[in-house]
């Protein structure tokens, strides 16, 4: 009976994965984490043709692998102040709330970083970041749509959900 109840709970959590992504326990986090990691591993095997594709094509590629980009962060920009050019993005597949839980509990989550062949306007990217608090909206997609991907600089797929600094006290 206990196994049946646990199975029902896990199935319900799988249904919610793409929705709110609010977690209150490590067990709930693990369900989402394991799902993301398994989809990332499948997607990673198919990334060799990404260089030279537009960002909009890349978004469709990710959707085909059932990976929804939820947040975007500016990555690789001019080092002098104020920056003028943005050369890449870091992509997150979880909500701010989910990431907050992971940070508060020293957990990790999969991410991906891309570099573009041409720069985008740093100021425009910053305005969109502030306007949408980092969330990946239609306006954000439109801004990056024509950016051509030079390379995927990082696909971070953690082996386990606990970071190296995570210590469990019993």
Closest Cα partner for 26 from 123, 164, 162, 170? 162
Q: How far apart are CA 158 and CA 58, in angstroms?
A: 22
pLDDT at 157: 81
Domain that holds residue 12: 2-156
Domain assignment of residue 137, yes or no: yes
Domain assignment of residue 167, yes or no: no
List pLDDT tens digits, range 16-49.
444 456 788 989 989 988 999 999 889 888 888 8
With a pLDDT cut of 90, the percent of the chain lying above it is 47
Domain assignment of residue 169, yes or no: no
Would you place residue 127 in the very low, low, confident or very high pLDDT band (cuts 50, 70, 90)?
very high
Domain assignment of residue 170, yes or no: no
Domain assignment of residue 162, yes or no: no
Give the chain's domain count.
1
Mean pLDDT, to the nearest integer, of 83-103?
A: 91
Domain assignment of residue 10, yes or no: yes
State if pTM tops 0.85. no
Residue 117 has pLDDT above 70, yes or no: yes
Domain assignment of residue 52, yes or no: yes
List pLDDT tens digits, range 41-79.
898 888 888 999 999 999 999 999 999 999 999 988 888
pLDDT at 64: 94
Domain assignment of residue 166, yes or no: no
């Amino acid at each position: 009976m206990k196994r049946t109840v646990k199975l029902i709970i896990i199935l319900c959590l799988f249904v919610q994965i793409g929705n709110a992504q609010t977690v209150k326990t490590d067990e709930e986090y693990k369900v989402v984490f394991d799902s993301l990691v398994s989809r990332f591993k499948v997607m990673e095997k198919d990334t060799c043709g990404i260089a030279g594709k537009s960002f909009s094509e890349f978004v469709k590629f990710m959707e085909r692998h059932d990976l929804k980009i939820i947040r975007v962060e500016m990555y690789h920009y001019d080092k002098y102040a104020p920056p003028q050019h943005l050369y890449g993005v870091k992509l997150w597949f979880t909500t701010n709330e989910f990431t907050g839980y992971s940070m508060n509990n020293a957990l990790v989550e999969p991410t991906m970083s891309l570099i573009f062949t041409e720069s985008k306007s740093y100021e425009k990217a910053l305005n969109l970041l502030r306007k949408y608090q980092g969330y990946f909206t239609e306006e954000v997609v439109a801004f990056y749509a024509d950016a051509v991907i030079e390379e995927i600089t990082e696909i971070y797929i953690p082996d386990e959900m606990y970071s190296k600094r995570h210590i469990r006290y019993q």
